[in-house]
Amino acid sequence: MSDRSPASSVTPGTVSIRPLGHFGRAVLRCRAAMVDSVSDRLGIALPREACRSVVDAGISALWLGPDEWLLLSANAPDSWVATLQTQLGDVLCSLVDVSHRQVALEIVDGGATAETLLASGCALDLSLAAFPVGMCTRTMYDKAEIVLWRRAADRFHIEVWRSFARYVEGLLRIAETEA
User: What is the distance, to the nearest Å, from the Cα of residue 148 to the centroid of all Cα atoms in its chain?
Assistant: 6
For residue range 105-153, what is the model confidence (pLDDT) as tens digits? 999 998 789 999 999 999 999 999 999 999 999 999 999 999 999 999 9
* Cα gap 57→76, rounded to integer Å: 12
β-strand pairing of 102-108 with 59-65: unpaired
Secondary structure (3-state) at 163: helix
Please state, in angstroms and rounded to a whole number, the distance separating the CA atoms of residues 103 and 5.
9
Q: Is 121 helix (H, G, I), strand (E, B) or coil?
A: coil
Domain boundaries, the chain: 17-178
Q: pLDDT-derived band of residue 12, with 50, 70 and 90 as boundaries?
A: low
Helical axes 80-88 vs 35-42, angle rounded to 10°: 130
| pTM: predicted TM-score of the whole model, two decimal places | 0.90
Helix (H, G, I), strand (E, B) or coil at 135: strand
Q: What is residue 9's predicted lDDT score, i.e. its pLDDT? A: 44
Percent of the chain with pLDDT over 90: 84
> What is d(CA 12, CA 165) in angstroms, rounded to the nearest whole number?
13
List the CATH code of the domain at 17-178: 3.30.1360.120
The radius of gyration of the chain from alpha carbons, rounded to an integer in Å, stands at 16
Q: Which phi and psi angles does 46 have, rounded to 5°?
A: -60, 135
Amino acid at 2: S
**Could you read off the pLDDT of 78-105 as tens digits, one per residue?**
899 999 999 999 999 999 999 999 999 9
Rounded to whole angstroms, the Cα distance separating 166 from 160 reads: 10
* Helices of type H across 16-136: 35-42, 80-88, 114-119
